[in-house]
């Protein structure tokens, strides 16, 4: 019971910080979560996912409470080793509030906001950065299929390129760390 309350409080802290526009810094969040905390979050998220790849689910995101969490993987079971690696890798980006800190636990409000950037037309140089990420990310795009995650992380990429001058390699790195499809067998490090 205490572990579940801890997970809920952690998710709420992340959601409030993200939605308020405050960067997620080490001051706003505890130092890097311990293995046992991440293992506990993995156990919960891998068994209690509420998202899927359907168009109906994608459309429903706009109607959800901004604090509701999109949880779990879409296509394949989550891999514990990869999950811990992803959350730890994303820590480097906690200063950019638009980047979800956990690819398997995303506030609906943030997802909905990022989707609005997806149709954004990029300039020539910006489009080159986006094309590089498409060609060089592990999934050859923001996700393994063109579902809600594709639009969320495609929108995130356009936002990061436009507002934070991210390069193609930087976007590809974010996409690789944020892969919410599940699995881990195809990941190499």
Domain that holds residue 88: 2-177
Write the pLDDT tens digit of every residue in 60-87.
999 999 999 999 998 889 999 999 999 9
Write the pLDDT tens digit of every residue in 131-181.
999 999 999 999 888 889 999 999 999 999 999 999 999 999 999 999 988
33: in domain? yes
188: in domain? no
pLDDT beyond 60 at 32:
yes
Higher-confidence residue: 152 or 19? 152
Query: Mean pLDDT lowest for which of 47-56, 123-132, 176-185?
Result: 176-185
β-partners of residue 105 are 71
The whole-number pLDDT of residue 185 equals 56
pLDDT beyond 90 at 4:
no
- pTM of the prediction? 0.80
186: in domain? no
| pLDDT above 70 as % of the chain | 80
Confidence label for 22 from pLDDT (cuts 50, 70 and 90): very low
β-partners of residue 70 are 106
pLDDT beyond 70 at 48:
yes
Number of Cβ within a 10 Å radius of residue 177: 20
Domain count of the chain? 1
16: in domain? yes
For residue 113, which of 147, 151, 144 has the smallest C-alpha distance? 151
Number of Cβ within a 10 Å radius of residue 38: 19
Confidence label for 88 from pLDDT (cuts 50, 70 and 90): very high
pLDDT beyond 60 at 5:
no
187: in domain? no
Q: Determine if residue 72 is left, alpha or beta; phi over 0 gives left, psi from -120 to 50 gives alpha, anything else beta.
A: left
Strands 69-71 and 105-107: antiparallel
């Amino acid at each position: 019971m205490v572990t579940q309350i801890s997970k809920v409080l952690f998710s709420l802290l992340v959601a409030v910080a993200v939605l308020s526009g405050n960067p997620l810094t080490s001051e706003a969040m505890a130092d890097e979560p311990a293995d046992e905390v991440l293992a506990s979050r993995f156990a919960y998220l891998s068994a209690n996912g509420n998202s899927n790849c359907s168009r109906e689910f994608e459309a429903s995101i706009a109607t959800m409470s901004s604090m509701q969490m999109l949880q779990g993987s879409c296509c394949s079971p989550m891999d514990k080793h990869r999950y811990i690696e992803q959350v730890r890798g994303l820590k480097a980006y906690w200063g950019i509030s638009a980047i979800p800190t956990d690819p398997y636990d995303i506030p609906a409000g943030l997802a909905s906001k990022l989707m609005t950037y997806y149709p954004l037309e990029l300039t020539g140089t910006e489009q080159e950065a986006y094309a590089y990420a498409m060609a060089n990310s592990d999934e050859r795009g923001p996700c393994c299929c063109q579902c809600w995650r594709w639009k969320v992380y495609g929108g995130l990429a356009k936002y990061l390129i436009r507002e934070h001058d991210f390069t193609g390699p930087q976007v590809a790195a974010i996409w690789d760390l944020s892969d919410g499809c599940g699995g881990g067998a195809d990941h190499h490090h």
